[in-house]
């Protein structure tokens, strides 16, 4: 299918859909959403007639909205509680705390690639990108290894709450997963109060007891947020990055020649094919975005994938290029809600891309294997098979 065919198809999907989410869920759009995102960006900002939400796709408008403390995330906390929680959680994400995770991250990558070399192929999504972040966050939280499969299942279901096509049957499964998750972590939190360690959960418990305090309920929802915010996002950074490299052999050759470019792969992937595609805000007070009025309590939807390819901001915006100077993408958001886990995600991503540069020599992408997850807020492949010589 050519770009033009996709554009026409997408335009048709938008016209036929009651709202843009149905269009975003269309399997053809999930495989290649950028032509649609580009046409939405060109029309934006505008108020969607069916929902009243203001759609934002241009970089400058998106930047202004994300930096504006007068807008809060969908289902967000009030500003004071948010700042207190953010301060406490950030304390655990020190550069040193992140750096000590590096050897374990490298070990997991090494095991996966050694197995791949033995087999002659690897499903990047399933065998590497999915297990790596959830294993790291589980171990950091101090979850016993035997239970990390539980976290994997919960995380995958809880992540679905960000989407818009959750059917009643699935909602039941998500609610059960959420209740099991709460029960499990209530027990682990109790245990860590009695037997504190150096793990992240013990640190958060200590932060709770240091006076300014996370309540038990806040502690529980923080752990849930860390799991959901940190898992599939990082998974998708890895898979989207490997996919972009394999589809752009000239850029892969640059990386082979200089593995120090692995950090540039992280930043360019976060711009070119960002794992988090949709960011929501509600206005505390009436405001405007790019001249379009937003009433108090009304929603704004930022299309990160559209803004990150705005030709008004980036030269050659639709190209994957490792020579861009400034990592000024919106992949980790900006302003008061800038991603707390950015340094951990950057570390995991750059260690993977560094290993890929050294070890996936002569790798060939099996395009037919490529299948995207059903999610639209988080974007990334479910299956991505690569054969190795």
List residues near ligand HEM by CB under 6 A: 73, 86, 137, 225-226, 229-230, 233-234, 237, 275-276, 279, 331-333, 337, 339-341, 344-345
Closest approach, Cβ 275 to ligand HEM, in A, equals 4
Closest approach, Cβ 120 to ligand HEM, in A, equals 29
Cβ distance to ligand HEM smaller for residue 45 or 341: 341
Cβ distance to ligand HEM smaller for residue 58 or 337: 337
Alpha helices by DSSP H, listed for 195-341, are: 200-209, 216-230, 232-247, 249-257, 262-272, 304-307
Cβ distance to ligand HEM smaller for residue 29 or 98: 98
Can you tell me the distance from the alpha carbon of 47 to that of 34, in angstroms, rounded to the nearest whole number? 20
Closest approach, Cβ 222 to ligand HEM, in A, equals 8
Query: How many alpha carbons fall within 13 Å on the CB side of residue 364?
Result: 6
Cβ distance to ligand HEM smaller for residue 134 or 177: 134
Cβ distance to ligand HEM smaller for residue 96 or 194: 96
Can you tell me the distance from the alpha carbon of 260 to that of 350, in angstroms, rounded to the nearest whole number? 9
Q: What is the DSSP letter of 71?
A: E
Nearest to 241 by CA among 283, 279, 272: 272
Helix 34-43 to helix 3-16 angle (10° resolution) is: 60
Q: What is the DSSP letter of 192?
A: H
Closest approach, Cβ 317 to ligand HEM, in A, equals 19
Task: Identify any residues that bridge with 260 across adjacent strands, giving them in sequence order.
Answer: none
Cβ distance to ligand HEM smaller for residue 127 or 273: 273
Closest approach, Cβ 304 to ligand HEM, in A, equals 7
Can you tell me the distance from the alpha carbon of 384 to that of 321, in angstroms, rounded to the nearest whole number? 21
Helix, strand, coil % over all residues of the chain, rounded to 5? 60, 10, 30
Q: Which helix (H) or strand (E) holds 47?
A: strand 46-47
Cβ distance to ligand HEM smaller for residue 116 or 345: 345
Residue nearest to ligand HEM (CB): 341
Closest approach, Cβ 125 to ligand HEM, in A, equals 14
Closest approach, Cβ 134 to ligand HEM, in A, equals 10
Tell me the two tokens of residue 350. 């750059």
């Amino acid at each position: 299918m050519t770009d033009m065919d996709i554009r026409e198809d997408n335009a048709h999907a938008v016209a036929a859909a009651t709202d843009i989410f149905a269009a975003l869920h269309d399997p053809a759009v999930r495989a290649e959403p950028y032509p649609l995102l580009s046409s939405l960006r060109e029309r934006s900002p505008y108020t969607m007639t069916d929902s009243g939400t203001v759609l934002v796709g241009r970089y400058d408008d998106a930047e202004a909205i994300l930096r504006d403390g007068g807008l809060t995330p969908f289902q967000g906390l009030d500003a004071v509680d948010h700042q207190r929680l953010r301060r406490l959680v950030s304390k655990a994400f020190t550069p040193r705390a992140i750096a000590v995770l590096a050897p374990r991250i490298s070990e997991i990558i090494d095991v996966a690639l050694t197995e791949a070399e033995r087999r002659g192929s690897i499903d990047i999504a399933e065998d590497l990108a999915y297990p790596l972040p959830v294993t790291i966050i589980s171990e950091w939280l101090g979850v016993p290894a035997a239970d990390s499969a539980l976290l994997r299942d919960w995380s995958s279901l809880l992540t679905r709450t960000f989407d818009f096509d959750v059917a009643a049957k699935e909602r039941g499964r998500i609610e059960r997963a959420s209740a099991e998750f709460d029960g499990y972590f209530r027990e682990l939190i109790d245990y860590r109060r009695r037997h504190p360690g150096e793990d992240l959960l013990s640190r958060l418990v200590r932060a709770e007891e240091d006076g300014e305090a996370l309540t038990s309920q806040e502690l529980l929802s923080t752990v849930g947020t860390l799991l959901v915010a940190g898992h599939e996002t990082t998974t998708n950074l890895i898979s989207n990055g490997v996919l972009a490299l394999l589809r752009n052999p000239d850029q892969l050759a640059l990386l082979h020649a200089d593995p120090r470019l692995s950090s540039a792969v992280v930043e360019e992937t976060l711009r070119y094919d960002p794992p988090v595609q949709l960011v929501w805000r509600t206005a505390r007070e009436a405001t405007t975005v790019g001249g379009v009025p937003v009433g108090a309590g009304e929603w704004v939807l930022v299309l990160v994938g559209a803004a990150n390819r705005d030709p008004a901001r980036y030269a050659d915006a639709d190209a994957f290029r490792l020579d861009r100077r400034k990592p000024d993408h919106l992949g980790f958001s900006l302003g008061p809600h800038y991603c707390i886990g950015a340094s951990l995600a950057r570390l995991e991503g750059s260690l993977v891309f560094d290993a890929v540069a050294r070890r996936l020599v002569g790798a060939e992408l099996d395009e037919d294997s490529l299948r995207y997850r059903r999610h639209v807020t988080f974007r990334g492949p479910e299956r991505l098979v690569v054969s190795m010589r």
